[in-house]
A and B are shown apart, each in its own frame.
Chain A
Amino acid sequence: MTGVLLLTLLLAGVAVLDATPVAQTLLSQPLVTASLLGALWHDWPTALAVGVVLQILAASTLPVGSRTPEDYALGGVVGVGLALALDHGVNLQPWRDSAQLVGVLAGLLAASSGVPALRWQRRRNEGLARWCEAELLAGNEGAPALATAAGVALSFATGVALCAAWLAVGTLLLRAPVETESLRLSRAWTLAQPIWLGFGAAQLLHAFVQRKLTRAGVFGAALVGAWLTLVLGLL
């Protein structure tokens, strides 16, 4: 269990790095980190149930310009990691549903709380940039490499520390409610999951349609065609 938790924290650091400072390949997206955590914890159903909801909600959160977006790299690992920790070794469906609901809510909160942390890092990076320019002027051509390494280390450490804090507080505070109120929470999950999925799908649809009638028509045709195909068993 300790090894799995440590690897979960390591994944949080890597995801936070991928989100902005290094490569930006979308390894940081909740569905990708959820799949890695599902393999790590040997629990695909919980990992994917939480990961899919967080992913569809994250899809319309974009790092454009100087806007500081919600940190779904952190939120994805926290949400899925917490759900997996809370239902680890439990086979009761209401308990598992409760853990998934709590996981999504914790993931959303962690993503939102990541905004001030990102701003803090960016302000620290201002100091690094000033130092780098002064060093360049003084003749130190290795300064950009050092500043880059420092920026990467700061992001990684922040991601790991925040994820550790969220997982520690979450498992301590939420294990009891998940256990004792699992029927209520499970009922809430059966309602919340489709609402969140529908909400996220609508945000995606809005991004693609852009108020163009032909695109709305393409969506409608695809929906009806796929629904008929599924219901009539044509596949």
Chain B
Amino acid sequence: MALRANLLQSTWNYERQQGIGWVFALQPALAALYPDAATRRARAVEHAAFFNTQPTLASIALGVAAKLEEERAAGAGPDAAGMARVKAALGSTLAALGDRLFWFSLRPFAAALGVLVAIARPNGPWGALALWLVYASIHLGARFAGVGWGYARGPAVFSGRLRVWLETAVTVLAYGGCIVVGVLVANMLAPAGESRPIAVESALASGLGLGLLTAQRARPSPTQWALGLGTLILLAAWLRPI
């Protein structure tokens, strides 16, 4: 199931979002729990409905769903509507925590660290390795262990230490990110201890100032701002005689 969770988003769409990936990942559990083909197919159709959450922590929801299906197969556990409610609740809880931890904290942290290492050691793949190893080791670790966490603790998986641990990780990454960006800006100003020309430092400071101002609003996106800035600089370079 954990291996199949890597393909959770392969058919992501606006209607069912991760629904088909979810049932594909859950199929080994359904196959083990329901020897009767008709019941197994009925369960698979139930699970093919809408589902969406943060993809790393979706493994935990898969573990919980497998546990509940085990109870259903034994004649206990929730009915179809109850299972849908548990999935919806888990999906939103995991998305709230997972988005903050993986998308808003770990991903920018890994990117900042990668850029810092690439600027400090520009002749090799060290920046890329730092970025990839920091993110992928935690992401894949949580994905593979998550099925077991969810299965062992069931729907109460977030009432214990796991939630506290994840919240703490978000805070630690935020402070770590502030340190990494501070060191990164210092390296941009004076790579290897050599101060850069005043024009370059001014351009860097202008970019920082503009970035902090524009970050207050979601639109235009940073990419659109970057494209606009690039176009303006190109125009300026063209208009100024050589």
Binding site for B on A (CB under 8 A): 20-27, 29, 31-32, 34-36, 38-39, 44-45, 48, 51-52, 55-66, 70, 101, 104-105, 108-109, 111-112, 122-123, 125-126, 128-130, 132-133, 136-137, 139, 141, 144-145, 147-148, 150-152, 155, 183-185, 187-188, 190-192, 194-210, 215-216, 218-227, 229-233
Contacts of B230 in A (CB 8 A): 101, 104-105, 108, 192, 196
Asked if B179 lies at the interface with its beta carbon under 8 angstroms from chain A, I say yes
Interchain CA distance A208-B212 in the complex, whole Å: 12
Q: Which of B166-210 contact A (CB under 8 A)?
A: 174-175, 177-193, 195-196, 199-201, 203-210
Asked if B127 lies at the interface with its beta carbon under 8 angstroms from chain A, I say yes
Asked if B238 lies at the interface with its beta carbon under 8 angstroms from chain A, I say yes
CB distance from B67 to the nearest CB of A (A): 21
- The segment from B2-10, B79-87, B145-153 that touches chain A is B2-10
Pick from A59, A196, A204, A230: contact of B192, CB under 8 Å: A230
The answer to whether A25 touches B193 (Cβ under 8 A) is no
Pick from A32, A104, A130, A198: contact of B205, CB under 8 Å: A198
Asked if B39 lies at the interface with its beta carbon under 8 angstroms from chain A, I say no
Of all A-B residue pairs in the complex, the 8 with the closest CB atoms, nearest first, are: A202-B211, A198-B207, A222-B182, A226-B186, A35-B128, A208-B177, A206-B215, A59-B111
> 22 pairs across A/B with beta carbons < 8 Å?
A25-B139, A26-B107, A26-B135, A34-B128, A35-B129, A52-B118, A62-B104, A129-B19, A139-B41, A144-B48, A151-B12, A188-B233, A192-B230, A194-B207, A195-B207, A199-B207, A201-B208, A204-B111, A209-B178, A222-B182, A222-B186, A232-B193
20 more contacts with CB within 8 A, not counting A29-B114, A220-B182, are: A22-B6, A24-B139, A26-B131, A51-B118, A57-B222, A64-B103, A129-B11, A137-B45, A141-B40, A198-B208, A200-B207, A201-B181, A201-B184, A202-B208, A206-B212, A207-B215, A208-B177, A209-B174, A218-B178, A222-B178
